[in-house]
Amino acid sequence: MAFLKTRDGTHLRWKELGSGRPVVLIHGWPLSADSWDPVMMELADNGYRAIAYDRRGFGHSDHAASGYDYDTFADDLADVMKETGATENVALVGFSMGGGEIARYMSRHGGQGVTQAVLVSSVVPYMLKTDDNPDGVPQSTFDEMTDGMKTKYRHFFTGFFKDFYGDGVLTDKVYDEEKHWAWMTTMMASKYATMKSAEAFATTDFRPDLPSITVPTLVIHGTKDQTVPIDATGRAVAEQVPGATLIEYDGEPHAVFATQTERLSQDIVAFLDNRRSA
């Protein structure tokens, strides 16, 4: 395993496959970079250098005592790009809370080096239901999540992954071993990091960041996503980011990286190839 040190001294584990134009993939909550393995292999087979890293507090990265906010997450992304040499003509791909890193990097770091972005089942622009965000998730739902993690942490995630992977939505369910891997990966993470990161993606308003997303952007989202509802997120981004392209996966849940692996990989490669051809 390879590790790099961020500006505040936190060590992040990262990995890569292939060579060519760099594509940096950012995983979702509460998993690790390993969730991107099938997509990384497809990217490598198509002439790209796929780079993925474990967010601080997750996977094999340091269980840092602080930094679970999107300014720090964006700084971590900038440090990953610098240390891996992915500094020019970079594509960023973020799943779920990973979309927030992209939005905040584009505003906080001026989108330096980035020429394309892909938001998959992303929490951008705003998850929380408010008067001016009526399609968001009610605060009571996040309160229930917090209470579940505080009182029955391991049990909570058994139930959480049922919605995450589409039990009750898909006729062809995700196999149990996939959900077991997700649960085991979550148990590797810092409980503190897991809870603070949930607070971050639930309450961070990325709407002020959207004007900074000026590169071609692909938005992919399942229409039956019960974890991150499409109306408040994917469809909102498509409406508010000029030049954004929305692909809706009809009837699909949140974890499209597992339920539509081949299609997701092909859609990402096709989008990236447009830039390469240009």
Cα torsion 221, 224, 230, 232 to 10°: value is -160
Residue with tokens 């991107």: 36
75, 122, 212, 254: the active-site residue: 254
Helices assigned H by DSSP within 53-189: 70-84, 98-108, 139-151, 153-164, 176-188
Contact in structure between 35 and 257 (CB atoms under 8 Å): yes
Q: Is 60 an active-site residue?
A: no
221, 225, 265, 267: the active-site residue: 225
96, 121, 190, 197: the active-site residue: 96
Q: Is 131 an active-site residue?
A: no
Contact in structure between 137 and 129 (CB atoms under 8 Å): yes
Q: Is 96 an active-site residue?
A: yes
The 10 Å CB-count burial string (b at 16+, else e) for 30-65 is bbbbebbbebbebbbebebbbbbbbbbbbbbbbebe
Residues with catalytic annotation? Answer: 96, 225, 254
